[in-house]
Structure formats: structure tokens, C-alpha cells
Amino acid sequence: MKRTHVVAFVVVIAATLVLSVGTGSFTALSADRNVDIGTTSDDSAYLAISYDETTDELQLTNNFETPLTVTGIETSASVAADGVQDELAVSKSKAVALSCTDDSQSVTGSVTVTAEGDDVSVEVTQDVTVDCETATAT
């Protein structure tokens, strides 16, 4: 019986030592990483947007690797847009005609385009100055 007590005592001491000593794992880590962040021009963006003042059109180009569906085109109060509310294929472009909503000679405003695709969504805004003498409201 004495031998059993000694073995049990040794097991209890060994278990206590194992539980009281760390296992070598850690709970926190700090690391320094270098990150370079840059912006790209509107022409190179995932949804590229460019404004042609001679035709008063926005040109939308899909630079994603998936087709996009234009889900909304919002304009400031003085600018109207004949929207492209359909699919924009990969690497393809479509034009959005802009016009004036008042009798000014020219109006400055903004156009915001939103689009969605497979697991992606994008919103871009372009400031525009529309020549009201050449662009008519529709």
C-alpha cells in the first residue's frame, strides 16, 4: 500500500508541475509591416469614369474581372443623366448622356454611379460642368 501512495504522490506532484509551467504558446504578437497605399486615376479605377465636355457624356468602363450591373446614377439638382441601368461587361464601356435641368448657360454638379457584380460593389463620383446650350434635358 505504501508503494501505491508514493506513486500517487509522485503523479500528483508531476501533474502540478506540468500545469503550473507554461506550454510555450503565446497570446499576443506585435509585428511591423510596411504597406504602400496609392490612388489611381479615374481612367484606371475598377469602374473608370471620364467626362467628355464636348459631348456632355460620361464614359463608364468596367475594369473588374466580373461583369457589373449599374444599379444607380444620382446627379446633383441641376444635372440630369440618361442612365445605363444594365450590365456592363468586362473591359467594356458605355456612355451616359448628361443634360441640364434649368435654363442656365452651364451648370456644375456631380454624378455618382453605383454598380454591383459577383462579390463586388463600387461607387464613383465625378464632378461635371454641363454646357446647357448643347445639352438638353430629356
Give a three-class secondary structure readout of the chain: CHHHHHHHHHHHHHHHHHHHCCCCCCCCCCCCCCCCCCCCCHHHCCEEEEEECCCCEEEEEECCCCCEEEEEEEECCCEEEECCCCEECCCCEEEEEEEECCCCCEEEEEEEEEEEECCEEEEEEEEEEEECCCCCCC
Average pLDDT over residues 86-109: 85
Q: Tens digits of per-residue pLDDT, 62-86? A: 999 999 999 988 888 778 888 667 8
pLDDT at 22: 65
Please compute the mean of the pLDDT values over residues 86-99 and round it to a whole number.
Answer: 88
Q: Chain-wide mean pLDDT for the chain?
A: 82
Cβ atoms of 110 and 72 closer than 8 Å: no
pLDDT tens across 18-62, in order?
A: 777 766 666 777 888 887 767 777 677 888 888 888 888 889 999
- 138 vs 126, higher pLDDT: 126
The model's pTM:
0.65
Beta bridge partners of 108: 129
Catalogue all structural domains in the chain, each as residue range(s) with its CATH number.
43-131 (2.60.40.10)
